[in-house]
């Protein structure tokens, strides 16, 4: 059998990929205030079509799901039509692209959705830290409003609507964002979920919403075109759980019968928002802890370079590696990794907001 490497093609559910170098979801905050992706997004994503799979930046499923200025949505028809131009450009360049379905929950501010009012969450627990308001001013988080059961039902409908919109927009699949301390992660972990109803308390109850939403959107896409992203041990956005191993082992076990396209796990050793390059010493490896319990393809992300990514693939720890920050500054990353070409360093100052600088102007290798 051929030895597997980063450049080996593969099948992830119903999706064929040309290599195992994936583009991680990367919020760039360059959309219009109406959540319509910006004019440059088609060029930005098609420049990166060499990835085995592009996972889009997180895309809000509803107005209330928005948590930062200038992030894109998929719920309106104008947003959907703008995404269509992007997926067309990616496909024309030979790429494959999933949309990441996002609701931020409490990681938000009223100014970003004034009609909806306070951010919502499983429980009225204020996260520590600060948030960018609609005017890009930093303010403390507000205490979110606890979601009612009827709001949870409506939320599930919003995910289905967004999944259908993503299909109409020409994506190749969707990734459910249940990581990094956003709404679904807030339901999973008991630092943020203190509910006493069917969505809180036991591990089973806290996993209920994620599993319901997956079962809601699978009929839209087929299970082989739905992935999920989790961040066990991630502390970003003030997350904590009293027993992360028990929680995520249970959830992954429940994912197995769904036959998803892939499970995407973030390693806690790198920060998830690009705030620092520090690798947390001694942090447990999510790939090692949880990867083997998942029966389908596993994608790992977080602090990977050619060397450790190659090792993870060769040792069967991962089926693909999603690269974040170095994909921002190296649009042709797969080619550079394959041929050991030098990498362009990224400029953190241009990660969020702005226009072409640090977005579409990183050079291709000669």
Q: Which residues are catalytic?
A: 182
In the complex with ligand FMN, the residue whose CB is nearer, 19 or 27, is 27
Does residue 52 bind ligand FMN (CB under 6 A)?
no
User: Contact at 8 Å (CB) between 284 and 233?
Assistant: yes
d(CA 349, CA 362): 14
Specify the stretch interacting with ligand FMN by CB under 6 A; choose among 36-44, 104-112, 119-127, 296-304.
Answer: 296-304
Residues in the interface with ligand FMN (CB under 6 A) total 24
- Kindly tell me which residue out of 24, 49, 147, 255 binds ligand FMN, with binding defined by CB under 6 A: 24
Report the nearest approach of ligand FMN to the CB of residue 87 (Å). 17
Adjacent-strand bridge partners of 97: 54
In the complex with ligand FMN, the residue whose CB is nearer, 7 or 205, is 7
d(CA 110, CA 89): 35
Does residue 344 bind ligand FMN (CB under 6 A)?
no
In the complex with ligand FMN, the residue whose CB is nearer, 49 or 195, is 49
d(CA 64, CA 326): 31
In the complex with ligand FMN, the residue whose CB is nearer, 195 or 287, is 287
- Output the CA torsion sign for 244, 246, 250, 256: positive
Site string for ligand FMN, 229-268 (x = CB under 6 A): x------------------------------------x--
User: Contact at 8 Å (CB) between 308 and 285?
Assistant: no
User: Contact at 8 Å (CB) between 105 and 183?
Assistant: yes
User: Contact at 8 Å (CB) between 36 and 72?
Assistant: yes
Site string for ligand FMN, 147-186 (x = CB under 6 A): ------------------------------x-xx------
- Kindly tell me which residue out of 218, 273, 289, 341 binds ligand FMN, with binding defined by CB under 6 A: 273
> Residue 222 contacts by C-beta under 8 Å, 6 or more apart in sequence?
14
């Amino acid at each position: 059998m051929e030895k597997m490497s980063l450049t080996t093609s593969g099948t992830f559910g119903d999706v064929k990929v040309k290599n195992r170098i994936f583009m991680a979801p990367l919020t760039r905050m360059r959309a219009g205030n109406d959540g319509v992706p910006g004019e440059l997004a088609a060029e930005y994503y098609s420049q990166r079509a060499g990835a085995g799979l592009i996972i889009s930046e997180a895309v809000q499923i509803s107005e209330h799901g928005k948590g930062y200025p200038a992030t894109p949505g998929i719920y309106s028809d104008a947003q959907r039509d703008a995404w269509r131009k992007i997926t067309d450009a990616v496909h024309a360049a030979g790429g494959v692209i999933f949309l990441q379905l996002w609701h931020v929950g409490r990681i938000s501010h009223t100014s970003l959705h004034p009609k909806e009012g306070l951010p919502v969450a499983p429980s009225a627990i204020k996260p520590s830290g600060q948030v960018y308001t609609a005017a890009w001013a930093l303010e403390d988080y507000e205490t979110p409003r606890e979601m009612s059961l009827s709001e949870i039902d409506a939320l599930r409908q919003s995910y289905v609507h967004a999944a259908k919109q993503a299909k109409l927009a020409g994506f190749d699949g969707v990734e459910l964002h249940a990581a990094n301390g956003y709404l679904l992660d807030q339901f999973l972990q008991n630092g943020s979920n203190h509910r006493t109803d069917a969505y809180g308390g036991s591990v089973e109850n806290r996993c209920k919403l994620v599993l319901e939403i997956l079962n809601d959107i699978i009929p839209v896409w087929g299970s082989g075109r739905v992935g999920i992203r989790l961040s066990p041990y991630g502390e970003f956005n003030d997350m904590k759980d009293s027993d992360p191993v028990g929680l995520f082992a249970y959830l992954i076990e429940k994912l197995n019968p769904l036959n998803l396209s892939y499970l995407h796990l973030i390693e806690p050793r790198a920060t998830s928002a690009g705030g620092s390059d520090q690798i947390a010493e001694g942090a447990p490896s999510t790939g090692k802890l949880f990867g083997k319990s998942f029966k389908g393809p596993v994608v790992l992300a977080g602090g990977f370079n050619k060397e450790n990514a190659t090792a993870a693939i060769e040792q069967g720890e991962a089926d693909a590696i999603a690269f974040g920050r170095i994909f921002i500054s190296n649009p042709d990353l797969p080619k550079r990794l394959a041929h050991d070409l030098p990498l362009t360093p990224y400029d953190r100052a241009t990660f969020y907001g702005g226009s072409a600088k640090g977005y579409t102007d990183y050079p291709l290798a000669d």
